[in-house]
Amino acid sequence: APIVAIVGRPNVGKSTIFNRMAGERIAIVEDMPGVTRDRLYASAEWLNYDFRMIDTGGIEIGDAPFLAEIRGQVELALDEADLIVMVVSGREGLTEADEVVAKMLYKTDKPVVLAVNKVDNPEMRNDIYDFYALGLGDPFPVSGSHGIGLGDLLDEVVKHFPDEAAEQEDEAIRFSIIGRPNVGKSSIVNAMLGEKRVIVSDIEGTTRDAIDTRFVTPDGDEFVMVDTAGMRKRGKIYENTEKYSVMRAMKAIDDSNVILMVLDAEAGIREQDKHVAGFAHDAGRAMIIVVNKWDAIEKDDHTMSDFENLIRDEFKFLDYAPIVFVSAKTGQRLDRLPQLVKDVDDNHRKRIGSSTLNDVIMDAIAINPTPSDNGRRLRVYYATQVAVQPPTFVIFVNDVELMHFSYERFLENKIREAFDFTGTPIKLIVRARK
Ligand code: GDP
């Protein structure tokens, strides 16, 4: 969902507007030391659009000088948000601080919508014209405390959202099966779809040659298998050349939420497998590693764990991806794939409430003190989840330089121990707060 950030100088009413826009769906978080407000983000809805809001004013920490604080807010907004609502006050009129904020926003090519708050009665509407001077387009008069004008403001906000944002109603989980030629992708696709109790329907690609396949499992779960056209009619469209298959994989990754990365147990792991996996990881998709042709190799009681160790070794960056050993030929364990896709898709969209998250972070710090450098110790103030798919967390600290990779890794592991994020990468963003 698109992310909307609300910025503006102090006391223009950012939080009031934020709370109004969020309605009762607001995320209440516990008071943290140094955090002057208790709400940071919320999900909101307008017309058919779902979006997330960040109240950048909610992360004022300590007594940073005014300008530094505003700069911090705006930076966060510019980094995290798809659209920015700048709030000014119609009661106080245009101030120098408003101009400072506006100036910071000129640099972005993200849409900015200007809201003039505290326009509590119609006569005050005449005073909003001064704000054209900010160069941010039409000012929208609103009254956060009276709930006036917010509809028009939200209409303007959602106008800037990409069209796909409105079309989230399709419940089907989009996944694709990727891997280098001959690992058995087509065979897996055909075996999964050939299962008698699976109901399949093709979706004609509109602008491209690819055809996605929609199917429903006996449990009633709906899936779209992306870019399966060539795989179902083996060898025709889907050419078995390395370059073509990489290109195809990249496109499929782009179009999917979950990726099944197929390896060939017989042929072992090749360099190209790592390339393909790297794309999926970098794209932040949920991942499952599927080891195919398990029927074709001789096994004893540690063949599976040996192969697993080999994979963990070769694909260190995919340590979160579950591994399944299957055979497209015999059908072994293929019936597990739909449920697994569903589970990792859930994890990929998982949201953790800020108070639970901060409990986990603070517990982690208690057992493993933060690193220090030259007598300065890293201080972690607060963490909050700002996005899903993949789950993305912002951690506010005193000094970004003091955060070591290994400590970041430690915090990520603690988050993974506390919540089930199997199959999904998670992103940590470290931010400084004075
Ligand atoms: P793709 O290029 O990844 O789509 O691979 P294909 O599905 O065309 O399979 C490549 C070859 O591997 C074909 O000869 C298949 O019959 C064979 N194959 C696929 N899956 C299995 C399997 O589970 N076991 C065995 N023994 N052979 C398989």
User: Of the given ranges (1-15, 23-37, 43-57), which has the lowest mean pLDDT?
Assistant: 23-37
Tell me, using a 6 A CB cutoff, whether residue 296 lines ligand 1.
yes
Residue 338: asked if its preceding bond is cis (omega within 30°), the reply is no
Q: DSSP 3-state assignment of 268?
A: strand
Q: DSSP 3-state assignment of 419?
A: coil
Does domain 173-348 fall under CATH 3.20.20.70? My reply is: no
Q: Which residues are annotated as a binding site?
A: 8-15, 55-59, 117-120, 179-186, 227-231, 292-295
pLDDT of 233: 59
pLDDT of 37: 40
Domain-wise residue ranges, the chain: 3-166, 173-348, 354-432
Output the CA 24–ligand 1 centroid distance in Å: 53
Output the CA 276–ligand 1 centroid distance in Å: 18
Residue identifier of the C-alpha nearest atom 27 of ligand 1 = 293
Cβ atoms of 28 and 38 closer than 8 Å: yes
Residue identifier of the C-alpha nearest atom 12 of ligand 1 = 184
User: Of the given ranges (95-99, 113-117, 314-318), which has the lowest mean pLDDT?
Assistant: 95-99
Structure tokens at 156: 């303007």
> What average pLDDT does range 152-161 have in this prediction?
90
Mutational test site, ligand 1, from 177, 182, 266, 270, max ligand atoms within 8 Å of CB: 182
Tell me, using a 6 A CB cutoff, whether residue 245 lines ligand 1.
no
Cβ atoms of 385 and 392 closer than 8 Å: yes
Other CB atoms within 10 Å distance of the CB of residue 401: 12
Q: Which residues are annotated as a binding site for GTP?
A: 8-15, 55-59, 117-120, 179-186, 227-231, 292-295
Kindly report, residue by residue over 203-255, the tens digit of the pLDDT. 554 434 446 888 888 888 999 998 776 666 555 444 555 666 677 778 788 88
Share of the chain above pLDDT 70, in %: 84
Residue identifier of the C-alpha nearest atom 14 of ligand 1 = 182
Kindly report, residue by residue over 110-131, the tens digit of the pLDDT. 999 999 999 988 888 877 888 9
Tell me, using a 6 A CB cutoff, whether residue 295 lines ligand 1.
yes
Q: What is the pTM of this model?
A: 0.65
Residue identifier of the C-alpha nearest atom 19 of ligand 1 = 184
At residue 282, what is the residue type? D
Tell me, using a 6 A CB cutoff, whether residue 431 lines ligand 1.
no
- Residue whose tokens read 């920015």: 84
Cβ atoms of 155 and 235 closer than 8 Å: no
Tell me, using a 6 A CB cutoff, whether residue 241 lines ligand 1.
no
Tell me, using a 6 A CB cutoff, whether residue 331 lines ligand 1.
no
Q: DSSP 3-state assignment of 307?
A: helix
User: How many H-runs (helices) and E-runs (strands) does the chain carry?
Assistant: 12, 18
pLDDT of 236: 45
Q: Residue 16 — φ and ψ, nearest 5°?
A: -65, -45
Output the CA 182–ligand 1 centroid distance in Å: 6
Q: Rounded to whole angstroms, how far apart are CA atoms 84 and 181?
A: 45
Does position 62 have pLDDT exceeding 50, yes or no? no
Question: Which stretches does DSSP call E strand in 228-379?
Answer: 258-264, 286-292, 323-325, 372-373, 376-377
CATH for the stretch 354-432: 3.30.300.20
Output the CA 188–ligand 1 centroid distance in Å: 8
At residue 23, what is the residue type? G
- The pLDDT-based confidence of 201 (bands split at 50, 70, 90) is low
364-397 b/e (C-beta count within 10 Å ≥ 16 → b): bbeeeebeeeeeeebebbbbbbbbbebbbbbbbb
Nearest-atom number in ligand 1 for the CA of 328 is 23
Tell me, using a 6 A CB cutoff, whether residue 248 lines ligand 1.
no
Tell me, using a 6 A CB cutoff, whether residue 228 lines ligand 1.
no
At residue 361, what is the residue type? I
Domains 3-166 and 173-348 share a fold: yes
Does position 35 have pLDDT exceeding 70, yes or no? no
Q: Rounded to whole angstroms, how far apart are CA atoms 132 and 98?
A: 12
Other CB atoms within 10 Å distance of the CB of residue 190: 16
pLDDT of 43: 72
This complex has an ipTM of 0.94
Nearest-atom number in ligand 1 for the CA of 190 is 7
Does domain 3-166 fall under CATH 3.40.50.300? My reply is: yes
